[in-house]
Structure 1
Amino acid sequence: MATYLYRIGKFAYRRKGAVLSFWIALLVLFGVGAATLSGPTTDSFSLPGTPAQNAQDLMAERFPTAEDPMNALSARYVFAAPDGQTLDDPENAAAVDEVLAAIRGIDTVSAPAKVDPATASPEEQAGALVNPVVADAGLTEQMMGLAAQQGTPEDAALADAQALSPLSADRTVGFVTVPFDGEVTDVDQAMRDQIAAAADIGRDAGLTVQVSGTAAADMAMPGGTAELIGIGIAAIVLTLTFGSLVAAGLPLITALVGVGIGSMGITIATGFFDLSSMTPTLAIMIGLAVAIDYSLFIVSRFRHELLETSDRAEAAGRAVGTAGSAVVFAGLTVIIALMALSVVGIPFLSVMGYAAAFTVLMAVLIAISLLPAVLGLFGEKAFAGRIPGLSSRDPEGGEPGAAQKFVGAITRRPLIPLIAGVVLLGVLALPATGLRLALPTEATGDPATSARQAYDLIDEGFGPGRNGPLVVVADARDANVPADAAFAAVLGSLYEHEEVVNAQVVGVNEDGDTAQILITPRSGPTDPATMDLVSEIRGDEAALNDEYGLSYGVTGQTALEGDVSESLQSALVPYLAVVVGLAFILLMLVFRSILVPLTATLGFLLSVLATFGATVAVFQEGWGGLISNPQPIVSFMPIILIGVVFGLAMDYQVFLVTRMREEYVHGASATDAVRSGFAHGARVVSAAAVIMISVFAAFIAEPDSLIKSIGFALAAAVFFDAFIVRMVIIPSVMALLGDKAWWLPKWLDKILPNVDVEGEKLARELEATAATLESTRV
């Protein structure tokens, strides 16, 4: 491989015009595509095949007009009367009516004409935007009338009415659900402004009015400032590394081109696939970090090769052939980790992995082709712009300094730093034992937002369960008793659970064989007791099926989100096995060793556990006061973290240990190879790690808690892995193992192809060529 990459680098340097023209044309082409082919993003967390989704699909089949709670476009206005007053008071009721009148004036509201509260169903009343006070009176009248007809006790009828009523029992809090035409992706800022303006009318009249729901959510895309902060810090680190403004700018230029093509490619993909709004942010976050790092490694190696030859094209070829080989394999490891997200089986997560892998691929291709062309464009000016007072020494030169002293101390007594590093990461990992997972919802939102305050008002006025109702879809098509009797049996079973506050049939399909049963749990949607209740209700189905021949499923937003979280948690181990297994094979190809990939993998496990611990401590438990709203960790964050961190961890393993392997292959002893390889690579790897940490840490400033937590976790992971695992634990282990570190069974040595990542074959070919030229001159 090194030989092929050497030829690519040399060609790109010499034929810089053609290579630069190709990449510029590609950038323009992607820009045109992004401007003309893009589509909207979506934030659906559905997971086909889960029990809740199966029940939702059955409900959609039997009740064609039923809405998907995960994707319905609506807004919920929550009203609270001033202290000491109720919403019954004439002035407050009039204020609510003014708000409702303003809501009806929004073009996209799909409210029908006014209905009679005494005869309309709760759903019809909500759709017609009936004042909560009027709706409560009509609903109570309906329920009492049904009770008289069916012989139902009055207290049960009143309980059923209160469970459906949009007015709290003390009549101080009420809500109206507003349906909108279109889909979530149709929401724009003008529509959100109209929704907010209607709420302001009630606030001006003295009411507390908060709005939640998909139509009112702020869908502003994160990013922009974070990327600029990361790039700014990266520029400073690169300047300090090279002591040259021009050299510092080269990795930034190529990285921006790669990220630009990658992000525009993702934008084009939105016109053909459903992508979540977070997909571009994650891809840019990862793509920007690795693109700068990959270019940094090749530029630093190019500078090192200039000390060996005055032919700059030759130096570019050698830099791409050696450091470029490490870049290719490091990039492949990251791509494998990201592509393997598809094994989880969640569509939106798979797409996020594909998108991020695409940006990493662009970063690799840019580094091995566009970068040498840019070096050729600048020629002898590639390291111009010296800054007085900054060291201009070769970052890979291995001159006696802090790196050599540091690795010397580690290799003299390797057991002490090894134990210290493992213990430190183990202690940091302890908070991970309390890890709790949940999808981001209004319950986990920022308390300062209107959506979270609306959620809290419902919680206080109606009880926690009103924010997270469950729906049982009961199918009596094959029942051995009349459908009414089967539904009654399900209700009786539900009331045996202490966590069920209310359960009632709220809808029966036209054929009369399927019912929707609404359950109000005692606990809220993020309370583990609610999902325990879901599991218990599902567990009761077998007995009811045996006795009555009916079947049912539990759905609703809480059940849907809970199933997604449980599926993600159960997928962690298989995903980890796939990623580690594939990457282990790749690392065996790179290092031609069993123990080096094994120690690299074990080191990754230490760093990822420590990262989990730090993230749980800060974002779930609230340590350090970094966030004001500690909440369970977002369900899909651990899987994303594992994939990305594994790929990035192997980056530093490849970049640092390939130099050790190179020295060992060229005749150095095992210990001297560790010392020399570390001294050659430590400075540039440290710079690369600081850049990556800076890029990720800049996203902590984003308002979105998910982006904030991912940025923190990735920054912490790079710090733990680069500076503790790769620079303390791995050199210690390599020193302890000695020659055994490079042991490979003979039978396996024959099977594995020699990819020559350290450039041994390339070095022999260059020496042979040089000898031939010398003999020709003689």
Structure 2
Amino acid sequence: MLFAGGTVMIALLGLLALGLGSLRGVALAVSLTVLVTMVASITLLPALLTLFGRRLERAVRRRADRDRGARWRSWATLVQGRPWPALVVALAALAGLALPALGTHLGFADEGTESPDSTTRQAYDLLAEGFGPGFNGPLVVVVEGSPSAMAELTEAVSDVDGVAGTGEPRMTGGFGVLMVYPDTAPQDPATSGLVTRLREKVLPGLASRTGATCLVGGSVAAAADFAGAVGDRLPLFVLVVVGLSALLLMVVFRSLLVPLKAALLNLLSIGAALGAMTLVFQHGLLGEQPGPIEAFVPVLVFAIVFGLSMDYEVFLVTRMHEEWRRTGDASRAVREGLATTGGVITAAAAIMIVVFGAFLLDQDRMLRQFGLGLAVAVLVDALVIRCLVVPAVMRLLGSWAWWFPGRKREV
């Protein structure tokens, strides 16, 4: 219980590696919730079982003779009989679902991604039709300098490709503001490209000639900055979460291949979830309005799903490890491990899928993305990864799955 909860906390606290204040509170609050649940499971739960254990014992005794794992044992036997076909089919399906994630466009939704029946979307469309698509997401250029620098800035920006026009420049006490209206809509990648050109090509030259300080802001620029910050720190985040979780599993099972296998399979299920999110919300599958994926949703999905996946991994592999230590039979260990934990894992996953799936009923696009990503990831992890891929991989590894440097073979 402590190790399973520890993997969830590691995944959530890994969000701190991103260095983003908006996610720091989420990481600490949810991790604290997991910690409280862990403490309750080893203190409050035993106390309650002591009080009500006799009543529960009657129901348990009535079902003691039933072999509730027979179906899971048969399924494990079937997978072990043909491990390579099961593994190839499952991995091919997951890779195909994860493939769209390579083209994920991070950003922030606006009124343009709402339903055409909403009044805000209708107002958005009317403004775009009357004043141009860029009117809904103007760039804000802030200048610290002289009036002559402001005049030169206005002239230079007006000639940039992709700029439909500028507003009237305003200056007060050496500070100026210029509204820049792009030719393209806020969610168009070309608008983000315009922000990059202004920052890297136009404004540096102007600053060197006039000595003024020029900065680009606005909703589009803010979204690009946030997405860029997430992208730059994502490798560190993944490295911290995957590395610490694998290290914890290595300590628990004293194995090198089990943590490596768990990390790779968890990444595959997360990739499938991100691919599903991209298909539905970015490409408009199932009737959704096409638009970007909210920049912070993928990292939240990664943290939560990686923690839950490791949680399921600990439940399943712990039972396999116990059976292997008892009998020394790797195939039997896989069968018995799935037979005794398969029902628990799928039941827990079903609860999480219902909870996360409820987010799809909300009108908020961000919550729907969050719910779909989590529900798909849990579904894939519980049914495909734990019930198909893990038995096949463990069958192929055999006793090598439990190999660890310096440990003698146990029988």
TM-score, normalised via structure 2 length: 0.93
For 1:471, what is the secondary structure of its paired residue? Answer: strand
Contact 2:109 2:187 in 1 (8 A): no
Contact 1:569 1:635 in 2 (8 A): no
Counterparts of residues 5-84 of structure 1 (less than 5 Å): none
Per-residue Cα deviation, 1:42-77 (whole angstroms, up to 9, x for no partner): xxxxxxxxxxxxxxxxxxxxxxxxxxxxxxxxxxxx
For 2:314, what is the secondary structure of its paired residue? Answer: helix
Corresponding residue for residue 472 of structure 1: 141
Change (3 A) 1:437 1:493: same
For 1:666, what is the secondary structure of its paired residue? Answer: helix
Contact 2:69 2:340 in 1 (8 A): no
Corresponding residue for residue 742 of structure 1: 402
Answer yes or no: is 1:617 the counterpart of 2:286: no
Corresponding residue for residue 154 of structure 2: 491
Answer yes or no: is 1:677 the counterpart of 2:337: yes
Q: Which has the higher helix share?
A: 2
Contact 1:331 1:360 in 2 (8 A): yes
Aligned partner of 1:547: which letter? R
CA RMSD, 1 decimal: 2.2
Change (3 A) 1:385 1:653: closer
> How much identity, in percent, do the aligned residues show?
40
Corresponding residue for residue 19 of structure 1: none
1:529 to 186, 190, 198: 190
Per the TM alignment, residue 616 of structure 1 is displaced from its structure 2 partner at its CA by: 1.5
Per-residue Cα deviation, 1:192-251 (whole angstroms, up to 9, x for no partner): xxxxxxxxxxxxxxxxxxxxxxxxxxxxxxxxxxxxxxxxxxxxxxxxxxxxxxxxxxxx
Corresponding residue for residue 348 of structure 1: 22
Counterparts of residues 627-706 of structure 1 (less than 5 Å): 627=288, 629-706=289-366
Per the TM alignment, residue 634 of structure 1 is displaced from its structure 2 partner at its CA by: 1.2
Contact 1:508 1:514 in 2 (8 A): yes
Aligned partner of 1:535: which letter? T
Per the TM alignment, residue 601 of structure 1 is displaced from its structure 2 partner at its CA by: 0.6
Contact 2:107 2:294 in 1 (8 A): yes
* Alignment partners' CA distance in 2, 1:642 and 1:423: 21
Contact 1:407 1:731 in 2 (8 A): yes
Change (3 A) 1:394 1:617: farther
2:132 to 463, 467, 470: 463
Answer yes or no: is 1:443 the counterpart of 2:104: no
Answer yes or no: is 1:564 the counterpart of 2:236: no
Q: RCO (CA 8 Å, sep 6+): is it higher in 1 or 2?
A: 2
Change (3 A) 1:400 1:465: closer
* Alignment partners' CA distance in 2, 1:543 and 1:460: 34
2:5 to 325, 331, 356: 331
Corresponding residue for residue 710 of structure 1: 370
Answer yes or no: is 1:361 the counterpart of 2:23: no
Per the TM alignment, residue 520 of structure 1 is displaced from its structure 2 partner at its CA by: 1.4
Structure 2 residues without counterparts, runs of 5 or longer: none
Structure 1 residues without counterparts, runs of 5 or longer: 1-326, 477-482, 751-778
Per the TM alignment, residue 392 of structure 1 is displaced from its structure 2 partner at its CA by: 6.0
* Alignment partners' CA distance in 2, 1:535 and 1:394: 67
* Alignment partners' CA distance in 2, 1:572 and 1:608: 14
Per-residue Cα deviation, 1:459-510 (whole angstroms, up to 9, x for no partner): 122111111111111222xxxxxx2332232223212312112235532122
1:422 to 91, 94, 119: 91
* Alignment partners' CA distance in 1, 2:130 and 2:69: 70
1:500 to 140, 159, 163: 163
Per the TM alignment, residue 598 of structure 1 is displaced from its structure 2 partner at its CA by: 0.3
Corresponding residue for residue 80 of structure 2: 411
Per the TM alignment, residue 736 of structure 1 is displaced from its structure 2 partner at its CA by: 0.8
Change (3 A) 1:493 1:400: closer
**Number of matched residues?**
407
Aligned partner of 1:742: which letter? W
Counterparts of residues 69-148 of structure 1 (less than 5 Å): none
Contact 1:417 1:729 in 2 (8 A): yes
Per the TM alignment, residue 409 of structure 1 is displaced from its structure 2 partner at its CA by: 1.5
1:516 to 177, 181, 197: 177
Per the TM alignment, residue 554 of structure 1 is displaced from its structure 2 partner at its CA by: 0.4
Corresponding residue for residue 385 of structure 2: 725
TM-score, normalised via structure 1 length: 0.50
Per the TM alignment, residue 660 of structure 1 is displaced from its structure 2 partner at its CA by: 0.5
Contact 2:154 2:169 in 1 (8 A): no
Per-residue Cα deviation, 1:241-296 (whole angstroms, up to 9, x for no partner): xxxxxxxxxxxxxxxxxxxxxxxxxxxxxxxxxxxxxxxxxxxxxxxxxxxxxxxx
Per the TM alignment, residue 645 of structure 1 is displaced from its structure 2 partner at its CA by: 0.7
Change (3 A) 1:661 1:609: same
Change (3 A) 1:523 1:676: same
Per the TM alignment, residue 603 of structure 1 is displaced from its structure 2 partner at its CA by: 0.4
For 2:43, what is the secondary structure of its paired residue? Answer: helix
Per-residue Cα deviation, 1:383-434 (whole angstroms, up to 9, x for no partner): 5679xxxx96459x86662111111111222111111111110111122233
Corresponding residue for residue 374 of structure 1: 48
For 1:382, what is the secondary structure of its paired residue? Answer: helix
